[in-house]
Structure 1
């Protein structure tokens, strides 16, 4: 999985193997082996690759299909708290976390405490959008 994702990321960015190898401080040959699955990177290089492409190591390793950390994690909400929410509540939380005009980063208590009010506001916004169509 890692080798496929590494190659895909590099190709999607139109980066040559030479350029990526230089940027990561490794040889062309080593990068070639990573991309063909003949070799696996150590933890330090894995993190360096993730940082270079602005993706998570979980994505590189195939643990998730989402290359970016979940918005709820960036807001400081634990996996346990998020997983205890209903799918509708997750939809509401995700909606508000993706709004650039609202600020909830590292304020999970505020976000979770206000969830009931957000659900009401979310329904109003959805109806307004439907009426515009």
Structure 2
């Protein structure tokens, strides 16, 4: 199996992000839903990463797949700031399945999304 430069970059990014997040190979494997030996093989370039695994790594580390593959140096290039998004979009008219949201609905949506964000943030620390 021949590995390309992008595979080497992916491997390096996975190792760097795993270490930055203070995760062992076993802990990362559990989060991805893989056996720890597979993480070891990925990091030692004896196994390639599937596209579904690539997406899982991106989600776990909260980075874009482009960042993992070395296509961008900005890990958050494809992400929107949730607070900015809510502030900008809740001011406008908003609909759900063509039904207009009331001011109360908008406030509930903002609270729910904010709580989900902070729970996810806390769980991934």
- Same topology, TM > 0.5: yes
How far apart in 1 are the matches of 2:68 and 2:23? 17
Give the TM-score normalised by the residue count of structure 2.
0.56
How far apart in 1 are the matches of 2:52 and 2:17? 18
Of structures 1 and 2, the one with the larger relative CO (CA 8 A, separation 6+) is 2
Q: Which runs of 5+ in 1 are unaligned?
A: 75-96, 106-133
How far residue 70 of structure 1 moved from its aligned partner, in angstroms, is 4.8
How far residue 23 of structure 1 moved from its aligned partner, in angstroms, is 1.3
How far apart in 2 are the matches of 1:50 and 1:69? 12
If you compute each CA radius of gyration, which structure gives the higher value, 1 or 2? 1
User: 2:55 matched to 1:22?
Assistant: no
How far apart in 2 are the matches of 1:26 and 1:66? 27
Give the TM-score normalised by the residue count of structure 1.
0.53
Q: Please, what is the CA RMSD of the aligned residues?
A: 2.5
Q: After the TM superposition, list the runs of 4 or more consecutive aligned residues in structure 1 that deviate by more than 2 angstroms.
A: 102-105
Paired residues in the alignment total 81
User: 2:54 matched to 1:46?
Assistant: yes
Q: Which runs of 5+ in 2 are unaligned?
A: 1-8, 90-125
How far residue 26 of structure 1 moved from its aligned partner, in angstroms, is 0.5
Secondary structure of the corresponding residue to residue 37 of structure 1: coil
